[in-house]
Structures are given as C-alpha cells and as structure tokens.
Chains A and B, each alone.
Chain A
C-alpha cells in the first residue's frame, strides 16, 4: 500500500493500494486533475479505460482525458468539440485570406510584367 495516497484515492477516500491504476498519473499534489476527470467520466470508467491500454500509453491517455474533461467542464454544451469547430473556422478564414493574397499577388505580378514590357518598347 502506498504510504502517500494518490489524488484519486484521496478524492475517493479509500486506501491507495500498491498497484493502484491511478497513482502514476494522479499525484497527490494535483487534486483538481482527478476531480475534473471523475466529474465527467467517473472513476470506474477511467479505471476501465486505463486497464485496457498498454502501460506505456496510459500517461498520454490520462492527459487527453484530462484535457477533454476540462473542456467539458468549461463548456458543458460543446466540450472540446467547440475547440474543433473554432479551429476549423480559423482554417477556413486563413484559406480565404490565402486565396485573396494569391489573387493579389497574381494581379501585382501581371501589372509588374506589363510595366516592364512597356519599358522595353
């Protein structure tokens, strides 16, 4: 048994076993991290998800779960789908600007070549 409970076991008010699935990823100095994940997914679901993953991928999975949970807490309606939407909007806007700039470049280059042609005459 871990002498110092992980944040998850502290939150759940239970003993923290040596093989606690949460303890490598939810250190006791960051209680909010687990609170957020637990609020959205529930401890049982997170535990199941982690147990289905290889050890070396669990840290990344926890971070992505925390990210999505925080997005959902901040925006209960759209969660991180809101970020996806905004990014897509940003992409579209930038593509429009790119197209406009490319057109302006084409016009400028045409004018420039016309000016150069008339200079030669």
Chain B
C-alpha cells in the first residue's frame, strides 16, 4: 500500500521510513513519521540511526518545537550523511573549507579597498586596511563558537554552490570577539521553502563537496581546546 501525503500509520497507511527501518510498529503520533516517508525515508533514517541512534534523535526532536522539527531533521540528516562520508571530520571539513574561503576573500577585499583608497585620494597615503566586520580571522576554536540562535534558516543555501546569488540575508556584524562576526540571528525563509528543501534533500539533494582538510594539523587548527 503506497502512502501518499501523510505517511503516519494513524491514517491507515504503512509504517514510516523510520519504523520500517527499525522493523517496529508505527504508532499513531510517531515522532518520525512526518519526516521520514515509507519510501526513501528509510534510507535517510538508516544514516541518522547509524550516527546518532533512533532514541537520541527522538529525544532531540522532542525538545524542538514542532514547527522547527523539519529543519532539525534536515540538518540532522545532513550531519549524518556528512559523517558517513567522512568518518573522521564529518561536516567539520566543510566548515574548515568555508572558513578558509572567508579568510581568503576578506584578505582580497582588504587589499582591493586599500588599492581603491590610493586611487581615490589625491595624495598617496598609507593604505588603511579597513577593520573587517568579520573580526578575528583566527582559526575556528571550539571556545569561539558563536551563539547561533536563528529563528529560521534558509537551508537551501547549504545545498547550493557558494556562487549562488539568490541569498537576500541582511546580516548585522557582531561586535563581540566571535570568529567571523557571525550574526546571531536571522529571520529568513519560510515553511514552504524549507519543506521544498527537505523534499529536495530526501529525494537525492546535493551534498556539498567536502574536501579533506589534508594534514592532521588542519582539524587541530579548527578544533582547538584552550
């Protein structure tokens, strides 16, 4: 019996992907049912179960407001897939890669801004490297983790190439000593976009390329306890 729409067993349909994988009865109100359909959901849940464990994910979801659970599931699936692809670094390698891109771009921007300043001023002046809103460019340290508490993220950007020009977020620079001046909150996106993203991810959405950090020192640089 194919289940279209609500995969929950409460409507008389088959078990959800999670319960199918766990080979258990899918009860009414199953916490996984809305997010893991009976067709491809089982494959996605397999990754989540292998990395996090069904009971841990269940507890995580129970502590998340219901309207945020689709996003939570998408991000958990993303992390699980990343960890299975790269058992050593998981999605940290992706973070390192992006961090390096930020540093490189900001260095280039500082250089160009200094160059522009010399062109615009009639007299040569020492180039004034503007204080970047990104703050410190030190390596990511676990003690420098920003407190990220956004209301909603547009998760579609996670799965798009960096060159995408569809973002419309207006960020406020963070004056604290956080690593990249990462803003603490954003209010972008809507339920429809995220549901579309969840469907895209579940139906074989792109995973960003995660170059290995290479030397063992890079992750040590990234994750450094002080």
Chain A residues within CB distance 8 Å of chain B:
39-42, 44-45, 49, 52-53, 56-57, 60-61, 63-68, 70-72, 74-95, 97-98, 101-102, 104-105, 108-109, 112
Stretch of B5-13, B19-27, B32-40, B71-79 on the interface side: B71-79
Q: Which of B79, B106, B158 has the most C-beta atoms of chain A within 10 angstroms of its own C-beta?
A: B79
**B150 & A41 in contact (Cβ 8 Å cutoff):** no
Q: What chain A residues lie within 8 Å of B155 (beta carbons)?
A: 78, 81, 85
Instruction: Kindly report which residue of chain A lies nearest to residue B150, judged by CB atoms.
Output: A82
B residues 140-170 near A (Cβ < 8 Å) are 142, 145-150, 153-155, 157-158, 162-165, 167, 169
A101 and B130 alpha carbons, distance in the complex (Å): 13
A104 and B102 alpha carbons, distance in the complex (Å): 21
**A98 & B108 in contact (Cβ 8 Å cutoff):** yes
A40 and B162 alpha carbons, distance in the complex (Å): 29
Q: What chain A residues lie within 8 Å of B223 (beta carbons)?
A: 63-64, 66-67
Q: What chain B residues lie within 8 Å of A79 (beta carbons)?
A: 75-76, 79
Closest beta carbon of chain B to A5's beta carbon, Å: 20
**A63 & B105 in contact (Cβ 8 Å cutoff):** no
Closest beta carbon of chain B to A96's beta carbon, Å: 8
CB-CB nearest 10 A-B residue pairs: A87-B98, A81-B75, A108-B119, A63-B223, A94-B105, A64-B92, A82-B148, A101-B112, A86-B182, A42-B53
Q: A74-B148, A92-B167 are in contact. Are A64 and B56 (CB under 8 A)?
A: no
**B79 & A80 in contact (Cβ 8 Å cutoff):** yes
Interface residue range, chain B = 35 or more
**A78 & B92 in contact (Cβ 8 Å cutoff):** no
**A78 & B89 in contact (Cβ 8 Å cutoff):** no
Closest beta carbon of chain B to A31's beta carbon, Å: 14
A68 and B219 alpha carbons, distance in the complex (Å): 13
**B112 & A83 in contact (Cβ 8 Å cutoff):** no
**Which residue of the partner chain, among B75, B119, B145, B163, contacts A78 with CB atoms under 8 Å?**
B75
**B60 & A75 in contact (Cβ 8 Å cutoff):** no
**A53 & B157 in contact (Cβ 8 Å cutoff):** no
Q: Which of A63, A82, A84, A89 has the most C-beta atoms of chain B within 10 angstroms of its own C-beta?
A: A84
